[in-house]
Amino acid sequence: MFTLTMFYAVSIIVVRYFVNKHNNTLALIKSILSVLAVFFSICAFAQKDNNVTIGTIDSIQSKILNEQRKIWIYVPHNGQADSKQRYPVLYLLDGDAHFYSVVGMIQQLSQVNGNTICPEMIVVGIPNTDRTRDLTPTHVVVDPPFMDSTFSKTSGGGEQFVSFIEKELMPHIDSLYPTEPYKMLIGHSFGGLTVINIAINHTKLFNSYICIDPSMWWDKMNFLKATKKSLAEKNFSGTTLYLGIANTMDESMDITKVQSDTSSETRQIRSILDLDKYINAQKQNGLRYESKYYSNDDHGSVPMIAEYDGLRFIFDKYRFKLHFKDFIDSTVDLANKFQQHYQEVSKQFGYKVSPPENMLNGLGYEFLQQKQYGKAGKFFKMNVDNYPESYNVYDSYGDYFLAISDKSKAIEYFKKALSLKENPESRKKLNMLLE
């Protein structure tokens, strides 16, 4: 079955090619873009009840924290994918502040458009109840000018919060949602402090971490000292960390001068730069690490751009680049290239990662239209192997056998599709063949 998503996945590659190769052929470009405009207009009205909804609110009664915790959940395709596809999970601290932007970013970067940057993911936003309590690793009485005794009164509950995530939240998510074992954690400011705490002291709880302008000044930098000790002594193989550093200096400072400053006003950036320098020096601990200083962003503006760069770094091996030659050259074994690429991705993720079902289906139909039946058959077969619980992959494979005039095989696969889900398209095609 050829869907609008598949049409988009293939057409966007074609548009890119023609814009690059025929930039003077205005009429051609206009006609292609007009087709895409129709596609987007259809999609714009495809939302249920005329509402655009990006997630739901779940809740969990925590015995560890002794409170009810609301959780914001985004599941790709509203969790209704017929393939019963499963997804990596991104856990997001300060979820009420960053949920919308992160979900939008994941949706954009995971679009099945031939140059997919990262996988589709479930996003679990964790809103705050007592932020200072949950996101600080140790109790501090007073630390001027950053904190007074009122602000720090409940501080130091970080380990209980980590225990809540590990023993209550993660099992809850895994029991109700289609999760894969790959997990990521993102945090900013105090959330970044928590990211470092978990990455260093509970390393295997997540596979990868994005830490944004963390409050490494915490506890008069005693937490930073303990972190550096762990970085030198522990092994972090298989763990990825991205660190985003904001420009929190006044105009009299620069990135070099600030490192020798001793004033309290620069303690935030000095502590992060110290951490960054130390991590880069620990080549022996196996941590996959990258950092970036954002000179044009302050503490408040840095999260979105750092999240974007962090996702690009963590999933740098995920992207599979399609070229126009892959479509027009019948000698290119594109299916084999896909298999090899995703075998490498699977090694990085630690479990089998399959090419997106819609992408393979779209490519299969593209090659059917070109009468490159050998290529088409390989893509439809790959989808059947990867998504055996999806009725649509069998319906599409049936279309392939119809195209090559193998009636008995077409009947077999349409029946298989209908055994998984009754649908009018497969039923109509089966009845026509039987008649």
Q: What angle do CA 124, 129, 133 make, to 5 degrees?
A: 105
User: Is the CATH number 3.90.1150.10 carried by domain 4-48+320-434?
Assistant: no
What's the token pair of residue 434?
A: 């039987």
Q: What is the CATH number of domain 54-314?
A: 3.40.50.1820
**What residues contact residue 44 under an 8 Å CB cut-off, 6+ apart?**
none
84, 178 Cβ separation under 8 angstroms: yes
Q: What is the pTM of this model?
A: 0.85
Digit-coded pLDDT (tens) for 201-218? 999 999 999 999 999 999
Q: Where are the domains of the chain?
A: 4-48+320-434, 54-314
101, 304 Cβ separation under 8 angstroms: yes
Digit-coded pLDDT (tens) for 38-62? 344 334 334 556 888 889 999 999 9
**Fold match, 4-48+320-434 / 54-314:** no
Digit-coded pLDDT (tens) for 97-113? 999 999 999 999 998 66
Digit-coded pLDDT (tens) for 151-209? 778 999 999 999 999 999 999 999 999 999 999 999 999 999 999 999 999 999 999 99
Digit-coded pLDDT (tens) for 272-310? 999 999 999 999 999 999 999 999 999 999 999 999 999
DSSP assignment string, 376-392? HHHHHHHHHHH-TT-HH
